[in-house]
Amino acid sequence: MKKTIFNSSLWEGKPTKLSILVPTRDMVHSHFSYCLAQLMKTTQMNGIDTYLFYNSSTILLNQRETLIEKAKEVKSDYVLWLDSDMMFPDTTALRLLSYNKDIVSCNYMKRSKPMNTVAYTDVNDWDSWVPLRPQDDLVEVEGIGMGCMLMKTSVFSKLEKPYFEFVYKDNSWHGEDFELQRKLREIGYKIYVDTVLSMDIKHIGLYGYGVNFNGSNNE
């Protein structure tokens, strides 16, 4: 896959401890596994002490709570959340680390119609989704899916448990990712998106093919 250009001079920090956190079910995509292996290799070769934790379950809230505790146990400076249906360049962690932000993420397409992205400038307005196009590198958003998100582990020390919750308000459910980000925004944190790197992030989906009763091909 295409590689985002990474300027190593952007990242001049001292050796950092990074935990990669993967909530998953019973299987992961082979493309994800390959991307993950390449990312870990590149990250470790650049002096980052890298850990990998995954949790296999059907209860996403519990998965995320368990994973962040694992990262805290090894005293990680950063956590990189990756969903197991994503594809990304091997320099993804290094590029996100180079910004030295509390929260910086990648935008990507949803896997269902309407084919919008997962980033929003207003989480109460589903028409405020952020299109996939390179802008001035970082763009601030109100909420974004956590399929490829880097966070400083220290942000969790500012919150009470549980960190992740589903909340019903304003006649709709708010997912655990947006609810966490709402809590963080309320205490002053900002959420950024790397619009250039986002161009190389892929969301793996499935497509079914069949036949109509009249015998014609049907997607």
Q: How far apart are CA 201 and CA 199, in angstroms?
A: 6
8 Å CB contact between 179 and 123: no
Task: Give residue 120's pLDDT.
Answer: 86
Q: Domain tally for the chain?
A: 1
Residue 176 falls within a domain, yes or no? yes
Q: What is the pLDDT of residue 172?
A: 67
Encoding tokens for residue 83?
Answer: 């969903």
- pLDDT of amino acid 212: 60
Range of the domain at 23: 16-218
Report if residue 166 sits inside a domain: yes
What distance in Å separates the CA atoms of residue 88 and residue 36, rounded to the nearest whole number? 8
User: Does residue 100 lie within any of the structural domains?
Assistant: yes
Is residue 101, in this structure, part of any structural domain at all? yes
Asked whether residue 1 is domain-assigned, the answer is no
Distance of alpha carbon 143 from alpha carbon 191, whole angstroms: 7
Going residue by residue through the chain, which has 219 residues, state the pLDDT in tens, using 9 for 90 and above: 554 545 554 455 556 899 999 999 878 889 999 999 999 999 999 989 999 999 987 778 889 999 999 999 999 999 999 999 999 999 999 999 999 999 999 999 988 777 789 888 787 776 767 878 888 779 999 999 999 999 999 999 999 999 988 776 776 666 788 899 999 999 999 999 999 999 999 999 877 777 765 655 555
Residue 3 falls inside a structural domain: no
The whole-number pLDDT of residue 133 equals 85
CATH number of the domain at 97, please.
Answer: 3.90.550.40
Q: Is 36 helix (H, G, I), strand (E, B) or coil?
A: helix
| pLDDT at residue 79, rounded to an integer | 98
Among all chains, which residue has been given the structure tokens 């084919």?
A: 115
- The span from the CA of 33 to the CA of 87, in Å, is 9
Residue 33 in any domain: the answer is yes
Q: Is residue 7 part of a domain?
A: no
The long-range contacts involving 176-183, CB below 8 angstroms and separated by at least 24 positions, are 176/60, 176/61, 176/64, 177/143, 177/144, 177/145, 177/146, 178/123, 178/143, 181/103, 181/123, 181/142, 181/143, 181/144, 182/123, 182/143, 183/159
Tokens representing residue 157 in the block: 């020390």
**Helix or strand run (H / E) with residue 96:** helix 92-98
Q: How far apart are CA 212 and CA 219, in angstroms?
A: 9
Q: Say what the pLDDT of residue 27 is.
A: 82
